[in-house]
A and B are shown apart, each in its own frame.
Chain A
Amino acid sequence: MMSILMTLVQTAARFMPDAKRDPLIDSHGYVGKPLDRVDGHLKVTGGARFAAEYALDDMVYAEPVFSTISKGKVRRLDTSVAKRCPGVIAVLTPHDMPRLKAPTLVDFSKLDKIAASNLPVFQDDRVYWNGQAVALVVAETHEQAQEAATKVHVEYDIEDSNVSFDANKARATMPKDVLGEPPEIKIGDAEKNLAAAPVRVDAVYRSPYYSHSAIEPHATIAVWEGDDKITVFDSTQFVEGYRNSLAHVFGIKPENIRVLAPFVGGGFGGKAGFWWNTVLAVAAAKIVKRPVKFALSREGVFRIVGGRTIAEQRVAIGATVDGHVQSLIHTGVTATPSHARYAEQCTFPTRHLYATDALHIAQYVVDLDMVANTWMRAPGESIGTFAVESALDELAVELRMDPIDLRRNVEPKRDPTKDNEFSSRHLLEAYERGAAKFGWAARNPQPRSQRDGSWLIGQGVATAYYPVLRLPGAARVRVNADGIATIHTAANEMGMGVATSQLQHAADRLGVPLQCIEFNYGDSEMPSSPMAGGSCQTVSIVASVRAAVEKLHRELLKLEQQDPASPLKRAKYDDIVARDRGLFLASEPSRGATYVDILRRAGKQHVEAEGTSAMPMEMMKYSMASYGAQFCEVRVNDITGEVRIARWLGSFDCGTVLNPKTAMSQLRGGIIMGIGMALTEEVLVDDRSGRIMNASLAEYHVPVNLDVPHIDILFNDIPDPHTPLGAHGIGEIGITGVAAAIANAVYNATGKRIRSLPITLDKLL
């Protein structure tokens, strides 16, 4: 994918002038205020409707039958008993299905379609993973469908499968690319430098298969109108990608498909890939000619939606005795089935974080017969920072150096692999502010030196890292004669507070009170917006809205220029500012007109404009990322090995913070997810069968309230001059560095270095 053309574009981008600095970076309005989320009341009172909560006339319910083998063929599928169960309308097998095109794997140059697996959906009798849907019951009620599904009798011809990571990792191969980036990078001779280095660490770090466990299981309601129009309510985090994927699979024009997702109960990447449940719901609705609701059970989510791959990473660092890094090696093996081909980008943080004389990065994948692995909150960076930030801590121990001092030593002046400028990097400032507030200076670096009864106490720190991504998109802005503005963009809200921060931004951009704007989203018929993923949505929409508002302002100025009575008749776009519900001359603040005024004089009910944001050339010119320092204190029971987190502080360098309240919530959420990743979460795949054995939230242990301490969040709040509003995305960085900070704290408490997640008590006995 890393074509010559891309290389040329990237090289050219470095010589392009910067885009104009966003003037709102330097103004003070709603942006930056900790406002309550606008849909908070709706959510806590149950007024916010999620995909499965739409009740349509004549709706029927679907329930799948999951395969119990990991590879082979369905030899016999007896649906006769199920079909006779009360309320059953149909028991669908691949033979009943319309012929469908296989979904298209995500293409990072276009990002228009987004399947996590390119297997044809339910088109033949092949079984590719344990848990794959092999039949679908449709019944008048959900309970009837569930009961009938247990009566479907399936026999298989079983074939040999590869489901064990450990048994297969030796045959891992290097993928063609890792998310469009080279799978291997060599600068100097890292192995040679390592062998010659006076101080060395060299270790292997393991992390298991993780599940997103969003609180809302995946759900779809599909309705057909005639043969070529579909409306879908779905729990997706990418309405447009789902529309395009459905259009491709069903061979229908995208404009005839509408995907609605006004509220999504958490996604974390698990609802971005286009999974079988959506296709099956739409196909079933076509076959039974009635609206079909297909809401997955929790088990169903584990069976047919993938998670974060199991991974094994090696990090080796060679350094001088004063902490100059001479060699940095980060290699990793992750798993992916051949129908997903997703190499989780675990080496990405190491490509951009630290200065070193020599560097070796390499990634490998092993194909396993399992459900497609997919993006899960900070894919790559979450497990990558576990490896590299643990190794850095191990080096600090070897050097007898404070780990924060070590990070000062290895802070690069330019991006270590791209050799370009950082757009905005203030990692050390985040460390300093965090260390001061956390009280890091009081920490005793000697393991087992702090104790409270049978509890050993320790502190740890690690770097958080996540790249800045912006994708082009569009928005429509309208001002009405009554002064109310509306914005439409096909955005996705999964709990982050999109509407709140976008209203804050739009109010400042338009110069109107927050109450005078409506923000409409969650509908694929609205102007194109990227997925809520890659921490890109907020900044991408800000850029779209900015483009749309500029166009709107130019339209309004045109009206003014045609009106001899206008105070702005000679004003040019660059002369005006938006404030006090209208447009005013920057040089003569009393001279201007409100939107209501302009529309009244022009005799118009409204003016509307749709704008599209520019290609993200800044991403090619600069090394752009958010950074942070994760501080934690753990308590480890010296008798039982139980690990409990006592306190947490995350200090982040993530540009302008649009809304500190919602931003802190999101970062805390990431940290909590990281605590689960570090201590309790693990999808258990039985090596004998490839079957997930803990497919429930009773047995897949996410943190409970009692596992989560108070979490302090600090922001540098330094705007990035090269992004809209100076902002960065913050959805994913919260989870990065968390597992390493905990492992490092556990070492400080106990003297034991745990390199295999989750850090369960048996590893500390």
Chain B
Amino acid sequence: MKNFAYTKASTSSEAVNLLESSVGGKFLGGGTNLVDLMRENIEQPDSLVDISSLPLRDIVENPDGSVTIGASAKNSAVAINGPIRQRFPVLSQAILFGGSGQIRNMATVGGNLMQRTRCYYFYDHASLCNKRTPGAGCDAIHGFNRMHAILGTSSHCIAAHPSDMCVALAALDATVEVESRRGKRSIPFVDFHRLPGDTPHLETELQPGELITAVTIPKLEAARRSVYRKVRDRSSYGFALVSIAAILEIVNGTITTARLALGGVAHKPWRAFPAEELLQGNPANDEVFRRAADGALAGAQGFHYNAFKIELAKRVIVSTLSELAQNEGA
């Protein structure tokens, strides 16, 4: 690993100042992804600004019914938080499906948003990767792409975003609060992560010098009946082949609120807006769920090893919505 300078910030303004004054610096949260990437020589920052001690760990219920989660809150703390579990069970479940107990105890909310793909070719310096070296080419498109994206891919990159938590946050219409020397701003969660296009090395809308300070989830009563389902090769400690965050509110047999986000299928947590439209205002039955699943996967493109994800995702959408509808009925 390359030598790097290390400083520790105690406030968010100190953190952004330290980063601005550094050359080639990065923020260090829980380190569960960044340190791995540094050990693999994929990330090679000259300096790290440790933000793990910032006073941004609180989970606060705001007067307007929204909840603000500090960026330094540990994944485990969010997963076991009472209001989160009651009001947004999909988020708690998604977090608990990710990583391992040890990783969740270290990983922060802000860091989770910034984690990078697990594409084998991204990790291997002997392979071509447009993320590591823009313009170099992509060895994954004709390589081992079982874990890769089927939606929103480009001829430059088919990597998938690995996070579980972010899939739930996309479904919950969260916003990302950021701060820099230029001030503060909010970014809608669904816009935070980018599709690869011809710049797959740019993964988020975060600008240089910006620090994630919090994630805010707006009030959503329907989210009390939400669920996260993750399909993977082994029972734990494996990334999603396909995952789904679903929220469904049914009144008198008619769907009044539907939110659907998919994981493991795209370069970003994939909010399935067309599927939601096909659900909204329609009766809660399997035929509608199947139409929604088809809508969610419209335009999906499978590659040699991952074409099965299209059918798998459809099945998981239908079964998850049916289960939610049944629970609703009961």
Q: Which residues of A contact B233 (CB under 8 A)?
A: 679-680, 701, 760-761
- Asked if A642 is at the interface of the complex by the 8 Å CB criterion, the answer is yes
| Residue in A147, A454, A640, A701 whose CB lies within 8 Å of B238 | A701
* Given contact pairs A143-B1, A686-B144, A762 touches B312 in the complex (Cβ within 8 A): yes
Distance from A641 Cβ to chain B, minimum over Cβ atoms (Å):
8
Query: Do B1 and A704 touch across chains, with their CB atoms under 8 A apart?
Result: no
Q: B235–A150 contact, CB under 8 A?
A: no
B236 near A704 with CB under 8 A, answer: yes
Q: Which of B57-65, B118-126, B254-262, B268-276 contacts A (4 or more CB under 8 A)?
A: B118-126
Q: Which residues of A contact B224 (CB under 8 A)?
A: none
Residues of A within 8 A of B3 (CB): 86, 147
Interface residue count for A (Cβ, 8 Å)? 35
Q: Mark B213-257, 1 if CB is under 8 A from A, else 0.
A: 000000000000000000111111110010000000000000000
B103-128 Cβ-contact flags toward A at 8 Å (1 or 0): 00000000000000010110111110
Say how far A698's CB is from chain B's closest CB, in angstroms.
Answer: 7
B280-316, CB < 8 A from A: 308, 311-312, 315-316
B103, chain A: closest CB distance, angstroms: 11
B41 within 8 A of A: yes
Complex alpha-carbon distance, A187 and B289, angstroms: 60
Q: Is the CB of A762 within 8 A of B127?
A: no
B124, B232, B311 interface centre (most CB from chain A within 10 Å): B124
Q: Report A292 CB to chain B, min CB distance, Å.
A: 20
* Selected contact of A147 from candidates B2, B139, B144, B234, CB within 8 Å: B2
Contacts of A641 in B (CB 8 A): 312
Total A-B residue contacts, Cβ distance less than 8 Å: 80
Please state if A704 and B235 are interface contacts (CB–CB under 8 Å).
Answer: yes
B22 within 8 A of A: no
Asked whether, in the complex, the Cβ of A679 is within 8 Å of the Cβ of B234, the reply is yes
From A693, A696, A760, B144 is in contact (CB under 8 Å) with A693
- B320's nearest neighbour on chain A, judged by CB, is A639
Asked if residues B319 and A639 are in contact (CB atoms below 8 Å), the reply is: yes
From B36, which residue of chain A is reached at the shortest CB distance? A698
A contact face: mostly helix, strand, loop, or mixed = loop
Tell whether, in the assembled complex, residue A707 and residue B235 are in contact, meaning their CB atoms are under 8 Å apart: yes
Q: A642 contacts which chain B residues (CB < 8 A)?
A: 231-232
Interface flag for B82 (CB, 8 Å): no
Shortest Cβ distance from B142 into A: residue: A688
634-661 of chain A: CB within 8 A of chain B: 639-642, 644
* Interface presence of B143 (CB below 8 A): yes
A34 at the interface (CB under 8 A from B): no
List the B residue with the shortest CB-CB distance to A693: B120
Q: How far is the CA of A86 from the CA of B2 in the complex (A)?
A: 11
Q: Say yes or no for A450: interface residue by CB 8 A criterion.
A: no
Q: Are B231 and A694 in contact (CB under 8 A)?
A: no
> A688 near B236 (CB under 8 angstroms)?
no
Nearest B residue to A696 via CB reads B123
Task: State whether A694 and B1 are in contact (beta carbons under 8 Å apart), knowing that A689-B126, A706-B236 are contacts in the complex.
Answer: no
Cross-chain contact B316 with A640 (CB below 8 angstroms): yes
Task: Establish whether residues B126 and A765, one from each chain, have CB atoms under 8 Å apart when the complex forms.
Answer: no
Q: Is the pair A765, B121 in contact by a Cβ cutoff of 8 Å? A: no
Residues of A within 8 A of B234 (CB): 679-680, 701, 703-704, 706-707
Compute how far the CA of A703 lies from the CA of B315 in the bound complex, rounded to whole angstroms. Answer: 25
- Interface pair B126/A691, CB less than 8 Å apart: yes
B220 to nearest A CB, angstroms? 27
Please, which residues of chain B bring their CB within 8 A of the CB of A68? 125-126
Bitwise interface map of A from 681 to 694 toward B, beta carbon under 8 Å scored 1, else 0: 00010101101011
B126 engages A699 (CB within 8 Å): no
Measured between beta carbons, the chain B residues less than 8 angstroms from A688 are 139, 142-143
Could you tell me the distance between the alpha carbons of A146 and B311 in the complex, rounded to whole angstroms?
Answer: 44
Does A27 belong to the interface (CB within 8 Å)?
A: no
Q: Which residues of B contact A705 (CB under 8 A)?
A: 236
Contact B315 A639 (CB under 8 A): yes
Nearest CB of A to B246, in Å: 14
Say which residue of A147, A454, A680, A684 sits within 8 Å of B120 (CB atoms). A684
Chain A residues positioned under 8 Å from B235 (CB to CB): 644, 704, 706-707
Of A146, A693, A699, A761, the contact of B1 (CB 8 Å cutoff): A146
* Chain A contacts for B238, CB-based, 8 A: 701, 704
Contact A699 B118 (CB under 8 A): yes
Residue of B nearest to A299 (CB): B40
A640 close to B231 (CB less than 8 A): yes
| Contact mask for chain A residues 725-765; partner B; CB cutoff 8 A; 1 contact, 0 none | 00000000000000000000000000000000000111001
Beta-carbon contacts of B192-212 to A below 8 Å, as 1s and 0s?
000000000000000000000
Min CB distance B147 to A, Å, is 8
Q: How far is the CA of A703 from the CA of B312 in the complex (A)?
A: 22
Q: Quick one: CB contact mask for A243-265 with B, threshold 8 Å, 1 for yes?
A: 00000000000000000000000
Question: What are 18 A-B pairs at a CB distance below 8 A?
Answer: A86-B3, A130-B126, A143-B1, A147-B1, A147-B2, A639-B316, A639-B319, A640-B231, A640-B312, A641-B312, A679-B233, A684-B120, A686-B144, A693-B144, A704-B236, A704-B237, A706-B235, A760-B233
| Extra inter-chain contacts (18) besides given A147-B2, A679-B233, A704-B234, CB under 8 Å | A68-B126, A86-B3, A147-B1, A150-B41, A640-B316, A642-B231, A679-B234, A686-B144, A691-B124, A691-B126, A693-B121, A693-B127, A694-B120, A699-B120, A706-B236, A761-B241, A762-B312, A765-B308
